[in-house]
Chain A
Amino acid sequence: MAALIIFCSILVFSLIIAVLSKKGAMKSNMSDVMTASGSFGAFLVFFISVGEIYSIGTMIGTPGSIYAMGATYGIWFMCYILLAYAVGYFLNPAIWRMGQLSGATSIGDVIGWRYNSKGLQIIVAVIAIIFLTPWIQNQFSGMAILFQYLNIGVNFVTAVIISTVLAFIYILIAGIRAPAWVSVFKDILLVASITIIGIAAAAKMPGGIHGIFQTVADTKPDSLIISNAGGQHNVEFTMSTILFQMLGFYMLPISFQALLTSKNEHNLRRNSIFMPLYMIMFPFMIIAAYFAVATIPSLQNSDFALLAVAVKTLPDWMIGVIAGGGALTAILVMAISALCVGGLFSKNILGVINPKMKESVMTSTTRVVTAIFLIFGAIVALYFPTLMANITTLAYGGLSQTFIAVFLAFFWKKANKYGMGAGMLAGVGSYAIMKITLFAPLGFNPGFYAMAVNLVVAVLVSLATKTDEITQKRFDYYQMTKVVKHNKLLEK
């Protein structure tokens, strides 16, 4: 009962935050709904960036996969996010500047503007939407696990309905502002919950942290390190996956969105310094995961691992905090992702097909599409829970391929729409073929090869075709905003 009360209070409190966040919003135009007109200071940009990376999938899936398959997923995830922050320090301000010049609210806008191509804009938007659909559905699946196991008096169907409604209310009230403010609350809850579970696990185990890892090392050493032998999850595969995913990370439409909300580029650089520190919850999560490996031998579903540790070590009211934190995490990621889909669909697809579309119509379309997507996600989650699990990896592979187009946009004047389009299609195509045929020479991740194919095709086709003047001019505009050339600071 205490758990249920705390759970409900958390959701109500989040709603109050959402209502309060409307303050300061002036107009309800596209750029305000999607990126708060680029008005966020360092604090909010930080929270909205980290808030959407660590979804309920992180909380449930990471310990779950350590429990089921050993270290692979956990180590890979930590490494690639960590390095993505290092990449982000250099890449984010550049993306932000390009976004400012093009008045962008999404990844599609930036690429469409720089290469002066509506076709490219639509391709990118479609790839992004294909990725976001299973991403939203994943949030619901995570909630299913949460409510099945914790059993706090709310069944899964009710939880799905409540969260769909809440996610939509956030967006309706204040566009991206509401999720941004709610994510501050959510992140505090998420980090606190995981830290407490980790500490409780270490306290419960004889010998503390060392006891946990020693037990695992003695009984199941394979689950602590990554195998040197051949196969799907060996060292080469992990390393190549890290390399290719750290580049794809900022191509996630939601990460892109988050950095466009920033007021200036300096904050983005400074935030990068603090991003890795936020990962402090990972040691605790991993302690809890290995506690489950060491002491809870036969879970019926490996995804229950973290929750099983919580139930085993914590009092009832704390379970309410964890349920609330988990649900809020899912709702928030859903809200931002659905908003992102709404924006991509109405601006980058409908808006391109029908250029006369009024902005007010576009804003309302965004809201409608956001709602449709949430409902669609909820229905899929309720009736076809396993349908789209595999699409996520496939879509991430495809999405990462936009990295080449974004990267070349900053450095190469000759890069053009034909090259980027061909490269992207070659990358996505070769990735899909390699995935299906399980072709992975040297044990590397196929995404790694696909990106190389993408780069080669993009460069060759760009060289072979004519680059139109507008594309070149936009490259020059971007170059004019730079204050460092050839690694030297320009004096005035």
Chain B
Amino acid sequence: MKNRIPAILIGFVVPLCAVTICFPIYNRIEPFILGFSFNYFWLFSWLFLTSLCLFIAYKIDPFNREDAKTLSDKKMEEVKKIIEQDPEEGLKSEVNK
């Protein structure tokens, strides 16, 4: 999969909806589940479910394919080199250091 949108939906939009947008719905005491009032049960479940969402996002995110990782590391090095050779940047980085 080359598109990043599904990863953004699952990794960010789903937890956002569950925890914030649905807030008025789960903000209630009854029913008790596993001993917790409903709002706390809901939130505690989402500690695990958010982790799961991020795991799925990680798996389907094109950034994490091996070829993409290699490519991005390579590009990073290339651009760093270009910046080092850039006279304006060179001056700047000396000042920064």
Contact = CB atoms under 8 A, between A and B. Distances in A.
Interface string B4-31: 1100100110011001100110011100
Interface in B50-81: 50-51, 53-55, 57-58, 61-65, 68-69, 71-73, 75-76, 78-80
Interface stretch (A405-413, A433-441, A478-486): A478-486
Q: Which of B11, B19, B40, B97 has the most CB of A within 10 A?
A: B40
Interface string A54-96: 0000000000000000010001001100110111011001000
22 contacts: A83-B16, A85-B50, A86-B12, A101-B83, A102-B96, A209-B35, A226-B27, A265-B72, A269-B61, A272-B54, A272-B58, A275-B51, A279-B47, A477-B79, A480-B79, A481-B76, A482-B72, A483-B68, A483-B75, A487-B5, A488-B62, A489-B2
A33 to B, nearest CB: 13
A385 interface: no
Contact of B40 (A208, A286, A359): A286
Contacts of A482: 72, 75
Given A89-B11, A213-B32, A239-B20, A269 B64 contact: yes
A372 interface: no
Contacts of B36: 209, 213, 283
Q: Looking at chain A's contact residues, is the secondary structure mostly helix, strand, loop, or mixed?
A: helix
B58 A273 contact: yes
A225 interface: yes
A85 B12 CA distance: 9
Interface string A265-302: 11001101111110110110010000000000000000
**In terms of DSSP, what is the predominant structure of the interface of chain B?**
helix
B39 to A, nearest CB: 6
A89 B27 contact: no
A269 B65 CA distance: 12
**A-B complex: 8 closest residue pairs judged by Cβ atoms:** A209-B35, A210-B35, A489-B62, A489-B2, A276-B51, A276-B50, A487-B4, A273-B54
A214 interface: yes
A492 interface: yes
Which of the listed residues A87, A221, A355, A483 has the most CB atoms from chain B within 10 Å of its own CB?
A483
Contacts of A280: 47
A153 B58 CA distance: 49
A264 B63 CA distance: 13
Nearest to B84: A103
Contacts of B72: 265, 481-483
Contact of B97 (A75, A213, A282, A359): A359
B47 to A, nearest CB: 5
Given A210-B35, A276-B47, 17 more contacts: A82-B47, A83-B15, A83-B16, A86-B16, A113-B92, A213-B32, A225-B37, A225-B39, A239-B23, A242-B20, A273-B58, A275-B51, A473-B86, A477-B79, A481-B79, A484-B4, A489-B2
A284 to B, nearest CB: 10
A113 B88 CA distance: 12
Given A213-B36, A242-B19, A480-B75, A225 B47 contact: no
A79 B26 CA distance: 13
Contacts of A86: 11-12, 15-16, 50, 53-54
A20 interface: no
Contacts of B50: 82, 85-86, 276
Interface residues of A, number: 71
A359 B97 CA distance: 6
A133 interface: no
Contact of A217 (B23, B37, B63): B37
Contacts of B15: 82-83, 86
A273 B64 CA distance: 13
A195 B53 CA distance: 25
Contacts of B37: 213, 216-217, 224-225
Contacts of A351: 96
A30 interface: yes
Contacts of B62: 484, 488-489
A214 B47 contact: no
Nearest to B55: A273
Contacts of A470: 88
Given A75-B43, A276-B47, A484-B4, A225 B28 contact: yes
B47 A282 contact: yes
B20 A243 contact: yes
A280 B32 CA distance: 19
Interface string A99-115: 01111000001000100
Interface string A200-215: 0000000011111110
B1 to A, nearest CB: 9
Nearest to B46: A82
A19 interface: no
A48 B13 CA distance: 27
A235 interface: yes
A210 B11 contact: no
B27 A277 contact: no
